[in-house]
């Protein structure tokens, strides 16, 4: 009789049993996600300094946000991040598209090639940072050694010391490690394209370039925007590679948003100001997500996938 009462749906325990089943997961999500978000949001309205824990209890309103919005260094880092994101995702798109088109045409050992193209993704960003920091080293780096052996340069180029070259080095590391994201997604798009439209375009006398522009590319647009959305969010919060390769130098010329946040919070101990900076930078991520989502919806509408 006791077992029947427990299994009876009218029993109060049975009615709320789904809630009890997901309660451990809800508690875990609250501890790991919700509480840190609420704590960081609150501390962004305080002068919280890691060296002075009592400063967490001082409420200063929007002073941190006003300080950032009137700080020229923050604007420089913000727009530098925008430039890096724009350059990286466009170059990765072009290289990934070229790789996907080539692999899609190859029939011999195609599985091996698809596996090899994923190889850079297997490295952690920290390891990629150390790898490229060694490659671009002005004394023992392989890049300078190759250029010197070819007679292109006579003396080592200080890649990681000059501001423009340092940013180029960081972009090279980002592009090498993540072009495969575009290649894999675009290759999946190419493999899902029906053969009939392409064959019809050939019968109508379209050149390969015309077939790609008017048939293949429209089918790839959803995959392009998904890849761009993923990569824009990754690059916008780039930290590991920049930290390892240049640490924001020289003289802050390669400082991006999240390296600025890390330096403000953990080096300068100004955690309240760093959290305010983080919440302002979220605007950048939301803007990218909204833009590419609208583009994705437009592409699906053009293909007739949504009304």
Amino acid 303: pLDDT: 65
Query: What is the span of the domain harbouring residue 221?
Result: 68-302
The C-alpha atoms of residue 247 and residue 267 are separated, in whole angstroms, by 12
Amino acid 292: pLDDT: 84
In-domain check, residue 76 = yes
CB hemisphere CA count around 48 (13 angstroms): 19
pLDDT in tens, 24-74: 899 999 999 999 999 999 999 999 999 998 999 999 999 999 999 999 989
Percent of the chain past pLDDT 90, that is, above it, reads 34
Angle at 109 between CA 95 and CA 179, to 5 degrees: 20
The C-alpha atoms of residue 252 and residue 80 are separated, in whole angstroms, by 11
In-domain check, residue 62 = no
Amino acid 130: pLDDT: 93
In-domain check, residue 14 = no
What does the CA dihedral 238, 244, 247, 249 come to, rounded to 10 degrees?
-100
Check pLDDT > 80 for residue 116.
yes
Q: How would residue 1 be classed by pLDDT, with cut points 50, 70 and 90?
A: very low
- Measured CA distances, 157 to 154, 176, 207 (Å): 9, 21, 45
CATH number, domain at 138? Answer: 1.10.3720.10
Percent of the chain past pLDDT 70, that is, above it, reads 93
Average confidence (pLDDT) over 94-121: 85
Check pLDDT > 50 for residue 89.
yes
In-domain check, residue 89 = yes
Average confidence (pLDDT) over 277-284: 86
Average confidence (pLDDT) over 76-84: 90
Q: How would residue 307 be classed by pLDDT, with cut points 50, 70 and 90?
A: low
- Residue closest to 82 by CA, chosen among 286, 202, 232, 290: 232
Q: How would residue 107 be classed by pLDDT, with cut points 50, 70 and 90?
A: confident
Q: Which residues are 49's β-sheet partners? A: 52
Q: How would residue 276 be classed by pLDDT, with cut points 50, 70 and 90?
A: very high
- What is the domain count for the chain? 1
In-domain check, residue 141 = yes
The C-alpha atoms of residue 164 and residue 145 are separated, in whole angstroms, by 20
Taken in order 77, 79, 81, 83, is the CA torsion positive or negative? negative
pTM for this prediction:
0.84
Average confidence (pLDDT) over 169-185: 92
In-domain check, residue 37 = no
Phi, psi of 52 (to 5 degrees): -130, 85
In-domain check, residue 5 = no
In-domain check, residue 51 = no
Average confidence (pLDDT) over 116-137: 89
């Amino acid at each position: 009789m006791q077992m029947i009462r427990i299994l009876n749906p009218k029993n109060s325990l049975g009615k709320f049993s789904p809630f009890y089943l997901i309660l451990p997961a809800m508690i875990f999500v609250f501890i790991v996600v919700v509480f840190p978000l609420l704590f960081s949001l609150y501390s962004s309205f305080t002068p919280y300094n890691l060296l002075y824990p009592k400063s967490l209890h001082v409420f200063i309103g929007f002073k941190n946000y006003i300080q950032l919005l009137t700080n020229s260094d923050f604007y420089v880092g913000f727009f530098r991040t925008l430039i890096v994101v724009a350059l990286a995702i466009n170059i990765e798109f072009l290289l990934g598209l070229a790789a996907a088109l080539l692999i899609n045409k190859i029939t011999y050992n195609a599985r091996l090639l698809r596996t090899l193209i994923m190889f850079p993704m297997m490295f952690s960003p920290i390891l990629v940072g150390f790898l490229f920091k060694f490659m671009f080293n002005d004394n023992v780096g392989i890049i300078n050694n190759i250029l010197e052996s070819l007679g292109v340069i006579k003396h080592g180029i200080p890649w990681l010391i000059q501001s423009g070259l340092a940013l180029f080095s960081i972009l090279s590391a980002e592009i090498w490690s993540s072009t495969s994201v575009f290649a894999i997604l675009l290759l999946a798009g190419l493999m899902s394209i029906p053969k009939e439209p392409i064959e019809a375009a050939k019968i109508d006398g379209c050149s390969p370039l015309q077939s790609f522009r008017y048939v293949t590319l429209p089918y790839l647009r959803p995959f392009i925007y998904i890849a761009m959305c993923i990569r824009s969010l990754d690059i916008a919060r780039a930290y590991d590679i920049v930290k390892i390769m240049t640490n924001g130098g020289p003289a802050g010329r390669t400082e991006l948003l999240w390296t600025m946040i890390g330096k403000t919070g953990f080096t300068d101990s100004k955690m309240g100001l760093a959290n305010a900076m983080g919440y302002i930078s979220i605007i950048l991520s939301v803007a990218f997500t909204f833009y590419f989502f609208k583009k994705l919806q437009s592409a699906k509408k053009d293909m007739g996938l949504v009304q």
